[in-house]
Amino acid sequence: MAAPITEQTLRDACARKPVALREIYDDFAPGILGYLRSKGCEDPEALTQEVFLTLFSKLDTLDGGLRGARTFAFSVAHARMVDDTRRREREPGMAAFDPGEDTRASESAEDSVLGGAAGVAYLLEGLPPQQKEVLLLRVVADLSIDESAKIMGRTPGAVKQLQRRALGTLKERLERKEEAADERAS
């Protein structure tokens, strides 16, 4: 595992040193990609690249050090996700995948590698959009309450409340799932 990036790394990136830019990309990219995937973006990899093009072009104008850069990156990711959603709403829909017609004998490589992501997506399914957004920003993006509030255009208190409700709902779901598993085992 690579060493965590430092404020010096950010200063080197502002000076356009390739190694520092790569370190910032390697540190931020997994969270941004996970955020965009979990929001259902059509091409999360391409959107991630767009986020970094914007981030790297604005590095020398950002305030707040590494946390400010991370918050800015996730703000850009959020904006790209909104743009992607709006674009898809204007275009005709694609045919839905029908698992019943999937004739594969074994799971795909993607399912094998990202198996845990399906469980997370299942847990978040059914949460109100704002609660889902808070959990993605706080857990996947590892942003603070204030940073999440800024991205969402809400107060920190509203973000805390949304997070508390979302976690409560998830806890109830997991408890019900465990109870059902215990009943089947009996």
Write down the domain spans for the chain.
Answer: 1-91, 117-181
pLDDT over 60 (residue 1): no
Average of per-residue pLDDT values in the chain: 85
Report the share of the chain in percent with pLDDT over 90. Answer: 58
Check: CB of residue 142 under 8 Å from CB of residue 151. Answer: no
Q: What is the pLDDT of residue 105?
A: 60
Q: Which of 4-18, 81-95, 110-124 has the lowest mean pLDDT?
A: 110-124
Query: Does position 47 have pLDDT exceeding 90, yes or no?
Result: yes
Task: Please give the average per-residue pLDDT across 151-171, as a whole number.
Answer: 93
Instruction: Pull the structure tokens for residue 169.
Output: 């709902």
Helix (H), strand (E) at residue 143: none
CATH T-level topology, domain 1-91: Rna Polymerase Sigma Factor; Chain: A (1.10.1740)
More confident residue, 178 or 97: 178
pLDDT greater than 90 at residue 13: yes
In which region does residue 144 sit, left (phi positive, over 0), alpha (psi from -120 to 50) or beta (all else)?
beta
Is CATH 1.10.10.10 what the domain over 117-181 is classified as, yes or no?
Answer: yes
Q: Torsions phi, psi of 40, nearest 5? A: 80, 25
Q: What is the pLDDT of residues 118-150, one digit of tens each?
A: 556 667 788 899 999 998 898 888 899 999 999
With b meaning 16 or more CB within 10 Å and e meaning fewer, what string describes 92-101? eeeeeeeeee
